[in-house]
Structure 1
Amino acid sequence: NHLGYGVQLAEAKNMELAVPNGFTWAKHDLNLRKGMNFISNADNLLSDLRKHNTEHVLLKLVVWSEKGVPDAPRSPDEIKNFADNAGEVAGHIRSRYGDLYKTISYEIWNEPNLNYEWEGNPNPAEFVNLIRATAAAIREADPQAVIVSGAPSPGGDFDDLKFLEGMYQNGFAGLVDAVGSHPYGGPFPPDHPTGIDAQGNGYPYFRKPEAQRAIMERYGDTATQIWATEFSWLAGLPECNFGEHTPWQVTIQQQADYLVEAYDYAHRNWPWMGPMFVVYDFAISGRYDRCHPAAGYSLLRPDPNSPDVITPAAAALFAMEKHPGW
């Protein structure tokens, strides 16, 4: 199975624009915090997604505290609780929704190389422990599920390539069906070969999965795909201060061109790439200020002069030729 066309969602209702235009994959978070009614939350989400004819779903399994910040499962007891909850929800989803979706998949955690996501101390060995236990629990509950490792951040506190290497050094090979990647494009067009600009500054770049793939091949993990579980280009808000993201900003038209070129590049050059999920509707979710990076990457945005929320990038992606392999 080669490319899939997906969106990273804030709200299920916005699939009504995506699915008719060939974006049939939806990615959404699911909080597995102890005491949460995550089964009911999963039911609400998957029912809403099917109302809009979503065909494939990727659930990012996380734990957010009551304060809304990541609470990484690091101790043996925390890992067991997370894995048990993942297995419980996977079994429930397969039994209730298995006939309604072509693919049900799970991404274990998010950007574990960030201090923010891993309680200030990113650790590849600890992350592999979480993956090993959680993948086993999901597979026992749902042998058909597709399991994806949480993608490292391309701008992480712990270098993303070194983090992935550390995962393989701690027995990661063969634990998942796909390695998660976040190939944000930085300020570069998608065919730019490195993350270094003319002045020697380092930024994210879309072709980072090629470097990740080289690590996978070095450890013999050639049967495992890479999934781009989150990516886009920051665009069109020159008045905003996006912090460290600010130098990455491109124009609205460049965002449109680069995203179309990115899918085409992956189709032509990456036979090992699975679904690619573009940041979609966070700017219209009401959760983020317009100058928050999540809004700056989004395809759908509010327009003060129009009810239309479709950006040039969204229009271009909806219209482009697609080559789905799922």
Structure 2
Amino acid sequence: MRNVIGLALTSLLLLALVGATGLLWMCRAQIVRTIDAAHPLASPQANAIPWGVNVELDQYDDEGLARALDQIAAAGFHWVRQPFPWAEIEPRSGEFDWQTADRIVAACAVRDLSLIAVLDTAPAWARPTGTSNAHTPPREVADFGDFARAFAARYGDRVDYYQIWDEPNLSDHWGDAYVDPVAYARLLREGALQIRSADSSAVILTAGLAPTVENGPLNLNEADYLRGLLAARADDFFDVVAIKPYGFSQPADASPAGEALNFGRAAWVRQALVDAGRADLPVWAVEFGWNALPADWSGQPSIWGRVSEEEQAAYTVAAVERAQRDWPWMGAMCVSTFQPDA
């Protein structure tokens, strides 16, 4: 049965999107996870503590890293979602630079913050000749698998959650080519097998699927992309479906619909799992939130929509309340993004 978890956050950190004001919010909330007896999920990943935040911790020196993580821990967050770019860690085949990753993993571990490690990008030596986009899949999936295994072997005692690639349903995160769920399924399979061989407790997340209403070939909506993964029988190689249900300009209670970009879209994407007979698989909102710009903003309109600062705070809390109340399949929820100095 789905657990009842009372989660009181005396200081919930709510932050604006990258590219917005970067305003640091403090808001008080009490969120209670309720039982959905009709649709329980056995997976512990559906019963995960929800609060998480997206970070770019590699930008900090040791003092800044400690300060940032202390703020995150004090705000009551459990998860920190951090990219670990293959292109930077293994710039030459077989030569690893773990210095930055070592610092981040150690600093999170000492504060009992759970990392969601995003493994993506490909170094130039592993990409097709002549490509400059680091978000191009490698020529050989085995090369990515070797990196993923090395990462898990080094950090598996402190990291258990691994996301394989990010936003492959968008062309600019798939080498500026047509998106290809079957090709991504091969990358996912290799990464999952290698990580699990090094870390028996590993939990594998799909790439975070970006919100889009497009139907291909360059960009493909999340539900159709997920259907492509399931058709390729990739569900043996992930434990959690990762999505990014940003709210754009609509409130947290917006209805789910394929033609609308809103937070309710999460339920529409999840229907692809139900249709495929995989309603047992949990979904995590690895990025979500609302974009607040200053009242006197005179720049270009944001592609992420725009809400007031008060709406940003209220919608974020309401989104977690909605998920806890109505979506027993939703696990972690990571707000975007920690940039207190932006």
**Does structure 1 residue 114 correspond to structure 2 residue 170?**
yes
Residue type at the aligned position of 2:108: L
CA contact (8 A) 1:29 1:62 kept: yes
CA contact (8 A) 2:282 2:331 kept: yes
Residue type at the aligned position of 1:209: A
Distance 1:80 1:242 in 2: 42
**Residues 254 and 64 of structure 1: CA distance in aligned 2, closer, same or farther (over 3 Å):** farther
User: In the alignment, what sits opposite 1:48?
Assistant: 107
User: In the alignment, what sits opposite 1:278?
Assistant: 335
User: In the alignment, what sits opposite 2:311?
Assistant: 254
**Does structure 1 residue 10 correspond to structure 2 residue 56?**
yes
Residue type at the aligned position of 2:81: K
- Normalising by structure 2, we get a TM-score of 0.73
SS of the residue 1:80 aligns to: helix
Distance 2:247 2:97 in 1: 33
Which of 21, 27, 31 is the aligned partner of 2:81?
A: 27
Which of 222, 234, 245 is the aligned partner of 1:183?
A: 245
Residue type at the aligned position of 1:9: V
Residue type at the aligned position of 1:168: L
User: In the alignment, what sits opposite 2:254?
Assistant: 192
SS of the residue 1:235 aligns to: coil
**Residues 258 and 222 of structure 1: CA distance in aligned 2, closer, same or farther (over 3 Å):** same
Equivalences for residues 198-213 of structure 1 within 5 A: 202-213=259-270
After TM superposition, give the deviation of residue 151 of structure 1 in Å.
1.6
Distance 1:15 1:116 in 2: 31
User: In the alignment, what sits opposite 2:272?
Assistant: 215
Distance 1:244 1:280 in 2: 16
SS of the residue 1:29 aligns to: strand
After TM superposition, give the deviation of residue 70 of structure 1 in Å.
2.9
> CA offsets per residue over residues 123-161 of structure 1, 9 Å max, x none?
110111111111011001101011100021102622222
Distance 2:299 2:164 in 1: 32
CA contact (8 A) 2:223 2:270 kept: no
SS of the residue 1:144 aligns to: coil
User: In the alignment, what sits opposite 1:306?
Assistant: none
Residue type at the aligned position of 2:265: K
After TM superposition, give the deviation of residue 22 of structure 1 in Å.
1.4
SS of the residue 2:236 aligns to: coil
> CA offsets per residue over residues 90-130 of structure 1, 9 Å max, x none?
01112xxx2xx5x6211011110111100122111011111
Structure 1 range deviating more: 179-188 or 211-220: 211-220
After TM superposition, give the deviation of residue 162 of structure 1 in Å.
1.3
After TM superposition, give the deviation of residue 21 of structure 1 in Å.
2.2
**Residues 133 and 64 of structure 1: CA distance in aligned 2, closer, same or farther (over 3 Å):** closer
After TM superposition, give the deviation of residue 55 of structure 1 in Å.
2.6
Residue type at the aligned position of 1:140: S
After TM superposition, give the deviation of residue 65 of structure 1 in Å.
4.9
Residue type at the aligned position of 1:279: S
Distance 2:135 2:262 in 1: 29
CA contact (8 A) 2:165 2:206 kept: yes
Give the RMSD, CA atoms, in angstroms.
Answer: 2.2
Distance 1:231 1:184 in 2: 4
After TM superposition, give the deviation of residue 275 of structure 1 in Å.
0.9
How many percent identity over aligned positions?
A: 25
Equivalences for residues 14-163 of structure 1 within 5 A: 14-33=68-87, 34=90, 35=92, 37-51=96-110, 53-63=111-121, 65=123, 69-75=133-139, 77=140, 79-94=141-156, 98=157, 101=158, 104-120=160-176, 121-155=178-212, 157-163=219-225
> CA offsets per residue over residues 25-44 of structure 1, 9 Å max, x none?
11100011242635333212
Q: Which structure ranks higher in relative contact order (CA pairs < 8 Å, sequence separation ≥ 6)?
A: 2
CA contact (8 A) 1:187 1:203 kept: no
Distance 1:279 1:182 in 2: 10
Distance 2:122 2:189 in 1: 21
Distance 1:62 1:85 in 2: 10
Distance 2:136 2:118 in 1: 14
The alignment covers a number of residue pairs equal to 269
**Where in structure 2 are there 5+ consecutive unaligned residues?**
1-43, 58-64, 125-130
Residue type at the aligned position of 2:168: P
After TM superposition, give the deviation of residue 173 of structure 1 in Å.
2.1
Equivalences for residues 237-252 of structure 1 within 5 A: 237=294, 238-245=297-304, 248-252=305-309
SS of the residue 2:117 aligns to: strand
CA contact (8 A) 2:122 2:138 kept: no
Residue type at the aligned position of 1:219: A
